Every structure is written in C-alpha cells, then in structure tokens.
C-alpha cells in the first residue's frame, strides 16, 4: 500500500551577514537565525550562497530522516537583537552593492520552499533537486 503524499515545507528566516572579526583573512559569516545554521564565504555574496547550500542540505537531511527541521532550535537571542538593530537603524542596500572590505552587518530574509513526497517508509529526497529560495534586499548598519 502506497501512502505517498506530496508536501511543501516553507522556511523563512532572518539572516545576518557580517565580517568575521577574528579571521586573519577577509571572511564573511552568514547566519540563518531560525535554524541556527552558520556558514561562511570570501565575500558577503559568497557567504549567502554557502548558507543557502548549508540550509538546503540540513533541512533535506532532516526531512529524509522524518525530523522536523524546526526542532534544531533558533539562534541565541543576542543574534535576533543584533538583527533588530540593523533593521531599525540601518539603511536598505542591495547585497550585490556591498564591497568586500565593508564593515557592515547585513540583515536580510531567505525563504525556502522544499517540495517532497512523504512516504510511510522514508525515502530520500533526490539530491539533484535543490529547494527554491527567495532573497530580499538587505539592511546594513
């Protein structure tokens, strides 16, 4: 008996992107606050690309294991406080306009749509099907 059912999981979260002050080289850190997933890259744009990949892989793994991605937990409150400060006091800027040597803290939102088929027996989501996502302009402070 096949109890397959198509499902869509939507995840939206604030993301912080900032230079790593402890890194010897020019390194940017990106943080998906709702799931407390962190990645990094050589530029703000690269850090966002790496975060998209990290979130996609983590959530896909969770869904394949029958787990709720939200059970991962959220980032510490200090990160949400930092995000609110950037949104309230910062100015709107396109991520593509941020220079690599900037000292901005960026706040933006990412939305992912994961389409998958839930089975009575877990079957993996094909790895060649990456979720779709939407990124908005960022605020910088």
User: pLDDT tens-digit profile of 57-88?
Assistant: 999 888 888 888 889 999 999 999 999 999 99
Rounded to an integer, what distance in angstroms lies between the CA atom of residue 38 and that of residue 40? 7
Burial of 28 (0-12, 13-18, 19+ CB in 10 A): buried
Band the pLDDT of 140: cuts 50, 70, 90: low
Residues 11/112, Cβ–Cβ less than 8 Å: yes
Q: What is the pLDDT of residues 126-135, one digit of tens each?
A: 444 444 444 4
Mean pLDDT of the chain: 81
Specify the pTM.
Answer: 0.80
End-to-end CA distance of the chain: 56
Nearest to 32 by CA among 9, 49, 52, 46: 52
Q: How many CB atoms lie within 10 A of CB 107?
A: 23
């Amino acid at each position: 008996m096949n109890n397959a059912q198509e499902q869509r999981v939507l995840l939206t979260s604030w993301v912080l992107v900032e230079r790593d002050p402890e890194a010897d080289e020019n390194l940017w850190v990106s943080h998906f606050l709702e799931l407390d997933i962190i990645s990094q890259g050589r530029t703000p744009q690269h850090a966002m690309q790496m975060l998209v990949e990290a979130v996609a892989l983590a959530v896909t793994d969770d869904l394949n294991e029958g787990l709720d991605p939200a059970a991962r937990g959220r980032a510490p409150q200090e990160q949400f406080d930092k995000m609110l400060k950037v949104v309230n006091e910062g100015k709107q800027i396109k991520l593509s306009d941020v220079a690599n040597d900037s000292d901005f803290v960026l706040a933006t939102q990412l939305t992912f749509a994961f389409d998958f088929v839930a089975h009575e027996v877990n079957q993996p989501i094909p790895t060649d099907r990456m979720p779709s996502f939407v990124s908005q302009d960022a605020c910088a402070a």
